[in-house]
Amino acid sequence: MSSKPLHFLTIAEASELLRSRALSAVELTEHLLARIEAVDPTVNSYLLVTAERALDDARSADAAIAKGEGGPLCGIPVALKDIYDTAGIRTTSGSHLHADRVPAADSVCAARLREAGTVLLGKLQTHEFA
């Protein structure tokens, strides 16, 4: 495995480690969630961290990879700007007017990433109605 810290892996490097099973999606996700917890209070990039969902997504990705399924993004952690609707997860578009808005369906972008097997870490801050 790479001597580089996991949070500095490129998507290609992480994907290769996941496919070879030298690294699990759960391990990668746990590392990144810990990194978010350590760094985000200073940088304030996350509006919402979806840790439980991320770990569920990671377990599903690991199961798919073990069966030889899933494409190059399967198990790759991602975060979405808070302008993209995510089913069952609050989407505010950076506005207090939408503070309690929870969409019933994913945006096309979120749906495609979910279908690809990515792991949603959370929603990122954005300017109001960007």
SS3 sequence of the chain: CCCCCHHHCCHHHHHHHHHHCCCCHHHHHHHHHHHHHHHHHHHCCEEEECHHHHHHHHHHHHHHHHCCCCCCCCCCEEEEECCCCECCECCCCCCHHHCCCCCCCCCHHHHHHHHCCCEEEEEECCCCCC
In a domain, residue 129? The reply is no
Q: Which two tokens stand for residue 92?
A: 């505010």
In a domain, residue 101? The reply is yes
Q: Which two tokens stand for residue 73?
A: 């993004």
In a domain, residue 32? The reply is yes
In a domain, residue 17? The reply is yes
| Domain interval for residue 71 | 6-124
pLDDT band at 2 (very low <50, low <70, confident <90, very high): low
* Number of domains making up the chain: 1
94: left (phi over 0), alpha (psi -120 to 50) or beta: left
pTM, two decimal places: 0.93
How confident is the model over 82-123, as pLDDT tens digits? 999 999 999 999 899 999 999 999 999 999 999 999 999 999
In a domain, residue 112? The reply is yes
In a domain, residue 1? The reply is no
In a domain, residue 33? The reply is yes
In a domain, residue 130? The reply is no
